[in-house]
Amino acid sequence: MLKTITLIFIIFSFPIITISQQSFKSQQLNFDRVRVAYAEKEAGMKQLLNQQNIMPDSLEIFIRVIKNEKLLELWGKNINEREFQLITTYDFCAFSGVLGPKLKRGDRQIPEGFYQIDRFNPASKFYLSLGINYPNTLDLMSGSSDPGGDIFIHGGCETIGCIPITDDKIKELYIFAIEARNNGQKEISVHIFPARLTEKEMEYLQKSYQKNPELIEFWIGLQLGFQYFETQKTLP
């Protein structure tokens, strides 16, 4: 009797798990823009993954942004692997603000720090967009009465603090993110740095911004996370 109950449980649990894994992607595919993105970019996405021996159904991703290079890096790995591999890069097509963190609403700054994707917007004003959970805890400790919000990686080529990569490129990045989320990756990390915080680059920044010791101290904190990933190829 116990074996029979166990078998019934396994039989009925399996399709429930499968439906659950597909639900997020299915929900996104209700939107025309997402269907277009898959039609245009899915084959290329799979080719990029194949080059790194990453399976679409076990994909996890990590996004790293280098502000002074106006560059977004997409990293990926299989769920059962430790180290990420660079899959591809996307150039910003517009830029606002200067190096340094976002401190208040309207300062046109792209944030700097350690964030996560917290929203998928398939009906964005800027075609498709991925929301970043700015302000994070550290941002809220900056003392600003209004740090602002609504920071996205999106299509189009306009920005007042977001990261635009064109409609064409956001289609590809967006479906990479859908696949990872659909595989169960609830936390898609986004690290945003002013520059590649190597020792040489930090020396340059310290000289260039020596009149702003608080900014240097902030970047030294970010450098710990940058260097960890550079050496370990896994998230701290």
Domain ranges of the chain: 24-196
Catalytic site includes residue 191: no
pLDDT confidence band for 22 (50 / 70 / 90): low
Q: Edge-to-edge strand order for the sheet containing 59-66?
A: 85-91, 71-78, 59-66, 189-193, 113-124, 127-132, 151-154, 163-164
pLDDT tens-place string over residues 133-186? 999 998 998 878 899 899 999 999 999 999 999 999 999 999 999 999 999 999
Mean pLDDT of 82-88: 98
Tokens of 70: 């106006």
Catalytic site includes residue 162: yes
The predicted structure's pLDDT at residue 143 = 76
**CA end-to-end span of the chain, whole Å?**
48
Candidates 93, 157, 162, 191; catalytic one: 162
Tokens of 82: 């430790």
DSSP per position, 104-172: STTS-PPP-EEEEEEEEEEEETTEEEEEE--S-HHHHTT--S-----EEEESSS--SSSEE--HHHHHH
Mean pLDDT of 4-11: 39
Mean pLDDT of 73-83: 98
pLDDT tens-place string over residues 114-124? 999 999 999 99
pLDDT tens-place string over residues 187-214? 999 999 999 999 999 999 999 999 999 9
Instruction: List C-alpha distances in Å: 30 to 24, 26, 34, 35, 122.
Output: 10, 7, 8, 8, 9
Q: What is the β-pairing status of strands 151-154 and 163-164? A: parallel
Candidates 93, 154, 157, 191; catalytic one: 154
Q: Which CATH fold would you assign to the domain 24-196?
A: L,D-transpeptidase catalytic domain-like (2.40.440)
The predicted structure's pLDDT at residue 9 = 38
Percent of the chain with pLDDT over 90: 86
